[in-house]
Structure 1
Amino acid sequence: MSALKVLQLTDLHILPRAGDKMLGIDTEQYFQKTLAHAHATHGGFDLILLTGDLGQDPSADSYRRICRHLQTYATPCLCLPGNHDDWKLMETELNEGFVSCRKHLLLKNWQIIALNSQKPASPVGLVTREELVFLEQTLAANQMPALLAVHHHCIASQSDWMDTMKIENGKELLAVAECFPQVKAITCGHLHQEMQTSYKHMAIFAAPASCFQFKPFATEFELDSLPPGYRIFELFEDGSLHSDCHRVPIGMSALQINVHSY
């Protein structure tokens, strides 16, 4: 059975100036290596999905550099914002060639719906009433199998400190989504770790970051020694899907733990 292949990358935390480091690593270099590893290992993709925190203290130049890196793969790329991003700047700088900030994309018999979970001046997630209406109207108008993408997680991850920053009205988001059987999965970033669980008829996923990782089940900020990673989705014609995470063989011994950097 043929399948659409979607590469999910998240939490790039690209810095304003090329060569700058965060927690001891060059996040832009790690992003490039993660992109290259995914393509070298798994071949081409039908979509690259970037689920937020693309920039750390974002600037026009940091988004332009991200856009240039993505353009080299000649693959449709869908970008959505995280709590560290500047959404208006993203809409300006990440809308060129193969790269866009579109909120609804049709790929053969699947639809990808991108949601904004930014809460102004807060690390906490919030899906506004306007976003929920957009989701409901989009799903009501199209019965194709749907993958929803959002930056923040909508259910508890069991990492206590991160769960203080989940979508504060996550139950409202889930209440809309569960009314539509074509919603097959919701995927997010933000956690800097893998997650796979379910809610009602929907699979719930999170992807590892393309830079540093957070330790699962932590009660407070704690870095993990796992290397960068990404998630791949196979979306099948019958509406089923398969998803796995993969890691990039990069040593993480240079990490410098500083909670205030995040």
Structure 2
Amino acid sequence: MRNRSTAASTSIAPRSRPPRPLLRATAVRVGDAAAGAPTTLAAVAVIAHLSDFHLGDDPVAEARFTAVLDRLAGLAERVDAILVTGDVLDDPAVGDYAAIGRRLRALGRPVVACPGNHDDRAGFRALLDLPAGDGPVDSLLVAGGVTVVACDTSVPGAPHGRLEESTLRRLAAALADAGDGPILIGLHHVPVALDLPLVDRIGLREQAGLERLVRGASGVVGVVCGHAHTAAATTFAGVPLVVAPAVSSTLLHAVESGAEDVFDREQPPGFVLHVVDGGRLTSHVRWAPTA
């Protein structure tokens, strides 16, 4: 979602042919083999969740992104994977997805990502080092025993979100493969209203297909997303729904600002550490001050 100054029934198509598989990567829980490294129970995994960088030619956005990477650099060896839920660039014509992907992978953790409404699907593939294409960018990895599925909700040329039939089929296949999980689903657009009028107008539409899949899969521990430029927690389809804060700015609630659609760049950038312990999701919001 673009920063603004002061002042939200899909059916699953029959699987007549298998959809193309999602990107897959496998990570081993760190600390198990390294002498002296901290170890954790095998059932526990930590996923670092970042969203809404809005990089390009804005030095403030760059400084905030760098601060988050610096903060994560000290945690990376105890994190299993990095999930990015879109709006990596503010304008796809200004910026380099491949370079941003290299900066994320320099943390030494596998990266799974999906685009946002500001992103370009064809360009976004370079962030994940994927072959050229213009279809939905859906990706998956298994990290620390957790299946993390990132689903493309972007609608080219529009600010709102929607899950295409091909993405729903891929998600259905991934959920079937994962069985009882644990499974964490990542999106850009928010599938419920958050009492933020700007976000609620351009959230995820036609959520029925996603809701049916989540309710029908016993292993889903939660759905996580970005887009809203605020840290928030609620529920969707009977599981936790966690919204990551934006790296680029914070959208204030009217209770804080006295008005709608007020973005604040004085508040520090943030990210979430999602801890999956068996069938339970616990999410910790962390901040990365720029000064």
C-alpha deviation, 1:106, in angstroms: 1.5
Match of residue 60 from structure 2: 26
Match of residue 73 from structure 1: 107
Equivalenced residues, count: 239
**From 161, 169, 177, the counterpart of 1:141:** 177
Q: Any conservation in 1 of the 2:114–2:151 contact (CA below 8 Å)? A: yes
| Structure 1: stretches of 5+ with no match in the other structure | 252-262
Which of structure 1's runs of 4+ aligned residues deviate more than 6 A? Answer: none
Match of residue 227 from structure 2: 190
C-alpha deviation, 1:172, in angstroms: 2.8
- The 3-state SS of whatever aligns with 1:178 is helix
C-alpha deviation, 1:38, in angstroms: 2.9
Q: Any conservation in 1 of the 2:188–2:227 contact (CA below 8 Å)? A: yes
Aligned equivalents of 2:270 and 2:126: distance in 1? 28
Q: TM-score, normalised by structure 1?
A: 0.84
Match of residue 178 from structure 1: 215
- For residues 83-232 of structure 1, the aligned pairs below 5 Å read 83-95=117-129, 103-143=139-179, 144-217=181-254, 220-224=260-264, 225-232=266-273
Aligned equivalents of 1:211 and 1:43: distance in 2? 25
Aligned-partner residue type, residue 230 of structure 2: Q
- The 3-state SS of whatever aligns with 1:92 is coil
Aligned-partner residue type, residue 185 of structure 1: G
Q: Any conservation in 2 of the 1:160–1:217 contact (CA below 8 Å)? A: no
- Identical pairs, percent: 26
| Structure 2: stretches of 5+ with no match in the other structure | 1-39, 131-136
Aligned equivalents of 2:178 and 2:98: distance in 1? 33
C-alpha deviation, 1:132, in angstroms: 1.5
Could you say if the C-alpha distance between residues 137 and 164 of structure 1 is closer, same or farther in structure 2, counting changes exceeding 3 Å?
A: same
C-alpha deviation, 1:216, in angstroms: 2.6
Aligned equivalents of 1:204 and 1:248: distance in 2? 23
Moved more, 51-60 or 210-219: 210-219
Aligned equivalents of 1:148 and 1:71: distance in 2? 21
Q: Any conservation in 2 of the 1:186–1:204 contact (CA below 8 Å)? A: yes
C-alpha deviation, 1:119, in angstroms: 1.1
Aligned-partner residue type, residue 14 of structure 1: L
C-alpha deviation, 1:141, in angstroms: 2.7
